[in-house]
Homo-oligomer: A and B are copies of this chain.
Amino acid sequence: MAKEFRQKIRQKNTDNSGFGDNASGRFINKNGLPNVNRKGVNVFNRFSWYHTMLELSTFNFLSYLVIAYILVNLFFALIYYLIGVEHLTGIDKSDPVSEFIDVFFFSSQTFTTVGYGRIAPVGFMASLVATFEAFLGLLTFAIATGLFYGRFSRPRAYLKFSDIALIAPFKNKTALMFRLAPYKNNSLTDADVIVSAAIEVIENSVPKSNFYTLKTQLSKINTLALNWTIVHQIDEDSPFFGFSDEDFKNTHIEIIVHVRAFDEVFSNTVVQRTSYVSDEIIYGAKFIPMYYPDKDNQSTVLNLDKMNHYQQADLPIFQEENE
Interface size class of A (residues with CB under 8 A): 35 or more
Chain A window 21-47, contacts with chain B (Cβ cutoff 8 Å), 1 for yes, 0 for no: 011111110001111111111000111
A307 to B39, CA, bound (A): 11
Interface of A, secondary structure class, is: mixed
Q: For residue A288, which residues in chain B have a CB less than 8 angstroms away from its CB?
A: none
Check if A303 sits within 8 Å of B40, measured CB to CB.
Answer: yes
Q: For residue A289, which residues in chain B have a CB less than 8 angstroms away from its CB?
A: 22
* Interface check A176, CB cutoff 8 A: no
Q: Tell me the chain A residues, 291-323 only, with Cβ under 8 Å from chain B.
A: 291-294, 297-307
Chain A window 114-128, contacts with chain B (Cβ cutoff 8 Å), 1 for yes, 0 for no: 111110111010011
Check if B19 sits within 8 Å of A226, measured CB to CB.
Answer: yes
Among A4-12, A151-159, A164-172, A238-246, the stretch in contact with B: A151-159
Check if B101 sits within 8 Å of A109, measured CB to CB.
Answer: no
> Which of B38, B152, B194 meets A183, CB within 8 Å?
B38
> Which of B184, B221, B226 meets A36, CB within 8 Å?
B226
Residue of A137, A160, A218, A222 with most chain B CB atoms under a 10 A cut-off: A222
Check if A292 sits within 8 Å of B226, measured CB to CB.
Answer: no
Task: State the Cβ distance, A153 to closest chain B Cβ, in Å.
Answer: 5
Apart from A15-B218, A26-B298, 13 more pairs, CB < 8 Å:
A16-B218, A22-B291, A23-B226, A51-B265, A55-B265, A108-B131, A114-B115, A116-B116, A117-B117, A139-B144, A145-B146, A145-B148, A154-B267
Would you list 29 pairs from A and B whose C-beta atoms are within 8 A, ordered by A residue?
A16-B220, A17-B223, A18-B222, A24-B298, A25-B294, A25-B298, A25-B299, A34-B187, A34-B225, A34-B226, A37-B294, A37-B302, A38-B301, A39-B303, A39-B305, A40-B305, A46-B304, A48-B158, A55-B265, A101-B127, A105-B121, A114-B134, A116-B120, A116-B121, A142-B144, A146-B153, A155-B267, A264-B273, A268-B268
**Residues in chain A within 8 A of chain B (CB atoms):** 15-20, 22-28, 32-41, 45-52, 54-55, 65-66, 69, 73, 89, 92, 101-102, 105, 108-110, 112-118, 120-122, 124, 127-128, 130-131, 134-135, 137-139, 141-146, 148-150, 152-156, 158, 160, 183-187, 189, 191, 194, 196, 218, 220-226, 228, 256, 258, 262, 264-271, 273, 289, 291-294, 297-307
